[in-house]
A and B are shown apart, each in its own frame.
Chain A
Amino acid sequence: MGETTRRLMQGNEAIVEAALVAGCRFFAGYPITPSTEIAELLAARLPQAGGRFIQMEDEIASMGAAIGASLTGTKSMTATSGPGFSLKQENLGFASLTEVPVVVVNVQRMGPSTGMPTAPSQGDIMQARWGTHGDHPVVAMAPASVGETYEATIKAFNISEALRVPVVILLDEVIGHMREGVEIPRAEDIQLLERKGPSTGPADHLPYADDGTGVPEMAPFGTGYRYHVTGLFHDETGFPDMSNATADTLMRRIMGKMERHRDVYEWTETTDTEDAEVLLVTYGSPAQAARSAIRRARREGMKVGEFRVVTVWPFPEERLRQLAGGVREIIVPEMNLGQLRLEVERVVAGRARVSGINRTDGDIFKPDEIYAGIREVYGGER
């Protein structure tokens, strides 16, 4: 305690260390490259912190077990990669609807299918938003470095607990396995958010009532609050109700709580945007190459700025809209064939031209490639 310490660690390790600091005390997982280190490390570390680890029979099971544990009031996490993330989707939707806090790590690899297991990718960005069926609330974060992964993990638990929403951390193979020095904050500087407990006794507790915040109070199982949790649509008592009015109220509340509490999860960074003519919208590990490319372009007199999104979903629409008004060209570098670009195009809605720089060969961006992309856009009109 007391001192900030600096530690060299991998992205996957940063997830583990930060999860423990955030209060994670349950992990269920199934081995898959490139996320496996998270399970291996937590198998050793969780019991030392009074937590419990279990290796389940598959990712569907891991997701379900994490939700079950969370219902007992235990902060819970699971981790996987593409194929496993696909398997988790149904139960992830269960967590969205029943509003059970849970953190899901997806260390992305090249897909679809088994793809290239050890190659980095950002191919799951849309799946993280719309992977399960139905409209549903979910948060997804894509940190750009190991240090930021540490920070994002703590924040992921905070968001999940505060808003009762599943939070997906999207790493990619590069960050998962990259070693970087991480500044570990002092314990007293770390702010932790906890789920809101019941304000009444069991007799008066309405497990899904809106207290005005859109986020219901949550009582742990086994503490005298005997209530019902179901993946069917339910009213404020928690019991199934198939009326159109209840469905409407429920869906608008769980989607609306996300809109209302943007301050809890929104996380973006703007650099050099004041005079920018060209704006890069970045997320995840390509942001590192983008940063060098922008610096070089700036040195050469090109007015390039960066809008980096860490919390990708819900997308920071308003902020991008403001920025888009002042630039003529937006470039989205991605390790996929243009997924987030679709969202950027939707939000920008013609205010600026939007293009992508895309890699889908399993290799990472080099600053030169992004620089070349910037040049091309610049040169095109000059």
Chain B
Amino acid sequence: MNDKLKAYFRTDHLPHIWCPGCGNGIVTAAIVRAIDDLGWSKDDTVFVSGIGCSSRAPGYLDFNTLHTTHGRALVFATGVKVARPDLNVIVITGDGDASAIGGNHLIHAARRNIDITTICFNNNIYGMTGGQYSPLSPTDSFASTAPYGNADRTFDLCRLVEAAGASYVARGTTYHVTPLTNMIRRGLEKKGFSFVEAMTACPVYFGRRNKLPTGVDLLNWQRDNAVPVSRAAKMEPEELAGKIVIGTFLDVEMPEYTETYERLLKEHAADRSGE
């Protein structure tokens, strides 16, 4: 293991539980590299995750780590951030965790623009429970609960989060790992709610059922289907079907929740004290 990485891992807990070729390790390492670039202190950084294969990542990281309930990482993270705004708070979540059971929390964390960075590990499937379709499974793809193909329409989570009011939204892939790392770093730096969707591979459940049975196949799939956001803007919706639009969708400065709260208290709470 690279010494730079080693400093941030609980190495005695490796190797991790993820399957051979699973992309979760690639994203996890990208997050660590981004943190290392920024020089963030491990003591002052909190990782919060939900439930799923991807949500096991914090257990391997030598930070303050909190592995919560399915879909709820953001609410625990909100409690941490409001109580200690000085801490860096990072949420790790799966596509099902973030978009199905946790979808409402995602909307509201983005709406508040609270200074939390959310990294969504999107493997297009429920990995932990054995390959059921998630809201981010492509229409027509196969899953254990979609033996005849997935009739659901797939969700563009980046657009949702953008509309909900986040400050930074981007999508990367594990194939394009260097740009992914840069997006994560930008997201971490951003004051406000930032969301990075990291396309990752579940060869065991998504891959096997969709003729992409190995990690290598899925990385090739990412490479062959990725379209940069600038190019996508010039493409017709039909041309974009089945493509993965990657890049930065939003990068703006907006008032952050905990700062706004502090400001309001300064402006209005003083005259009410002693009530």
Say yes or no: A52 contacts B261, CB within 8 Å. yes
As a 0/1 sequence over residues 226 to 246 of chain A, the CB contacts with chain B under 8 angstroms (1 = contact) are: 111111100000011000000
Say yes or no: B79 contacts A229, CB within 8 Å. no
Chain B residues within 8 Å of A56, by CB: 75, 78, 108
Chain B residues within 8 Å of A90, by CB: 69
B107 to chain A, nearest CB (A): 8
Per the bound structure, the CA–CA distance linking A34 and B87 in Å amounts to: 35
Chain A residues within 8 Å of B81, by CB: 68
Q: Is A67 in contact with chain B by the CB < 8 A criterion?
A: yes
Interface of A is mostly: mixed
Q: Is B231 in contact with chain A by the CB < 8 A criterion?
A: no
Q: Is B229 in contact with chain A by the CB < 8 A criterion?
A: no
Chain A residues within 8 Å of B169, by CB: none
Chain A residues within 8 Å of B107, by CB: 57
As a 0/1 sequence over residues 24 to 53 of chain A, the CB contacts with chain B under 8 angstroms (1 = contact) are: 011010000000000000001101100010
Q: Is B105 in contact with chain A by the CB < 8 A criterion?
A: yes
With beta carbons under 8 angstroms apart, the residue of B79, B86, B261, B272 that contacts A28 is: B79
Q: Is B76 in contact with chain A by the CB < 8 A criterion?
A: yes
Say yes or no: A222 contacts B69, CB within 8 Å. no
Could you tell me how many residues of chain B have their Cβ less than 8 Å away from some Cβ of chain A? 40
Chain B residues within 8 Å of A309, by CB: none
Say yes or no: B84 contacts A64, CB within 8 Å. no
Chain B residues within 8 Å of A52, by CB: 82-83, 261
Say yes or no: B63 contacts A226, CB within 8 Å. yes
Give the nearest-CB partner of B42 in chain A.
A226
A198 to chain B, nearest CB (A): 14
As a 0/1 sequence over residues 178 to 210 of chain B, the CB contacts with chain A under 8 angstroms (1 = contact) are: 000000000000000000000000000000000
A79 to chain B, nearest CB (A): 15
Could you tell me how many residues of chain A have their Cβ less than 8 Å away from some Cβ of chain B? 44
Chain B residues within 8 Å of A231, by CB: 51, 67-69
Chain A residues within 8 Å of B265, by CB: 47
Residues of chain A from 87 to 105 with CB closer than 8 A to chain B in the complex: 90-91, 94
Q: Is B252 in contact with chain A by the CB < 8 A criterion?
A: no
Q: Is B238 in contact with chain A by the CB < 8 A criterion?
A: no
B120 to chain A, nearest CB (A): 18
As a 0/1 sequence over residues 14 to 30 of chain A, the CB contacts with chain B under 8 angstroms (1 = contact) are: 00000000000110100
Give the nearest-CB partner of B55 in chain A.
A230
Per the bound structure, the CA–CA distance linking A64 and B101 in Å amounts to: 14
Chain B residues within 8 Å of A223, by CB: 43
Chain A residues within 8 Å of B34, by CB: none
Most buried by B among A44, A61, A63, A69: A61
Say yes or no: B78 contacts A71, CB within 8 Å. no
Chain B residues within 8 Å of A228, by CB: 58-59, 65-67
Per the bound structure, the CA–CA distance linking A12 and B42 in Å amounts to: 41
Per the bound structure, the CA–CA distance linking A240 and B275 in Å amounts to: 48
Say yes or no: A65 contacts B273, CB within 8 Å. no
Most buried by A among B69, B87, B261: B69
Say yes or no: B46 contacts A64, CB within 8 Å. no
With beta carbons under 8 angstroms apart, the residue of A26, A28, A63, A222 that contacts B87 is: A222
Q: Is B104 in contact with chain A by the CB < 8 A criterion?
A: yes
B48 to chain A, nearest CB (A): 7
New contact pairs (12) apart from A48-B273, A66-B79, A229-B65, CB-CB < 8 Å: A28-B82, A61-B78, A67-B76, A68-B83, A72-B80, A74-B83, A221-B46, A222-B46, A227-B64, A229-B67, A230-B59, A231-B69
Q: List 5 A-B contacts (CB under 8 A).
A: A62-B75, A69-B80, A70-B79, A222-B84, A231-B51
Which residues from chain B sit less than 8 Å from chain A, CB to CB? 13, 42-44, 46, 48, 51, 58-59, 62-69, 72, 75-84, 86-87, 104-105, 107-108, 261, 265, 269, 272-273, 275
